């Protein structure tokens, strides 16, 4: 392993032989750094944090710090799990979970741009991009390949669906559906995220079906339950449409979130 002489590394930290710890980094005990992990410089990694293979961390990032919660007991053992091949840029902060044994999770191949924040107990999927100065509050769930624009503020316990895109400067206080572009204050679904759907290889048939579903959900005068029923009757039930229906159905049933956003 390559550890700069100025770094402070607890001897109980588990560091792969091919990991790199740069100058003035601090790595606490109980940390795990996988093969090819790079901490560039001035990175702080607190106990309970695990970084997957090939993850790169830019200067001044703070990973696994205590959550900003008045009820948090610093004696508990919780952590942060970052998947392989993530890119964590300058001054990013990721807080560990509030409760014993729980983890804040970042999926494989995600990028957190400079000065973005992921709060305690969040689950961030694979291939997610969180743009500079975006703030994700505690207990949020972000689906695979979602993109969160710059300066976006996300309220606690909000879900952002798979392949969703949230436009910059939006205020997200309720769940944002998968496959849609949402924007505004408050954030509202506006259109289908066709660029992401094409990039991820979603079929033309399914893209067309999602367009129809979007039109019924957000362009008709029907309430949520009637819109869902019409989609089930009139729109081809591709896997993406089924996923969208399940997501919206959970909102309508009050399982999570604060409304449909229409």
- Residues with a catalytic annotation lie at 120-121, 138
The helix/strand/coil state of 160 is: strand
The two structure tokens encoding residue 235:
């729109």
Place of tokens 């606690």: 156
Comparing CA positions, the residue from 95, 93, 197 lying closest to residue 145 is 197
């Amino acid at each position: 392993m390559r550890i700069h002489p100025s770094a402070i590394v607890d001897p109980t930290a588990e560091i792969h032989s091919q990991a790199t710890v740069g100058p003035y980094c601090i790595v606490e005990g109980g940390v795990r750094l996988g093969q090819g992990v790079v901490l560039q410089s001035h990175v702080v990694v607190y106990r309970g944090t695990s970084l997957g293979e090939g993850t790169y961390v830019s200067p001044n990032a703070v990973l696994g710090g205590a959550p900003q919660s008045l009820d948090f007991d610093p004696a508990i053992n919780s952590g942060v799990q970052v998947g392989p091949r993530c890119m964590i840029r300058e001054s990013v902060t990721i807080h560990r979970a509030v409760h014993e044994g729980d983890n804040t999770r970042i999926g494989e191949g995600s990028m957190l741009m400079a000065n973005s924040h992921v709060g305690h107990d969040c689950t961030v999927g694979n291939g997610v991009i969180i743009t500079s100065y975006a703030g994700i509050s505690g207990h949020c769930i972000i689906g695979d390949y979602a993109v969160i624009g710059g300066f976006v503020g996300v309220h606690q316990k909000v879900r952002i669906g798979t392949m969703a895109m949230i436009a910059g400067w939006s205020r997200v206080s309720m769940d944002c559906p998968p496959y849609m572009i949402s924007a505004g204050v408050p954030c509202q679904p506006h259109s289908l995220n066709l660029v992401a759907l094409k990039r991820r290889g979603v079929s033309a048939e399914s893209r067309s079906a999602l367009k129809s579903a979007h039109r019924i959900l957000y362009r008709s005068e029907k309430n949520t339950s009637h819109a869902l029923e019409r989609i089930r009757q009139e729109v081809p039930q591709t896997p993406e449409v089924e996923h969208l229906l399940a997501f919206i159905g959970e909102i309508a049933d009050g399982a999570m979130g604060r409304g449909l956003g229409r």
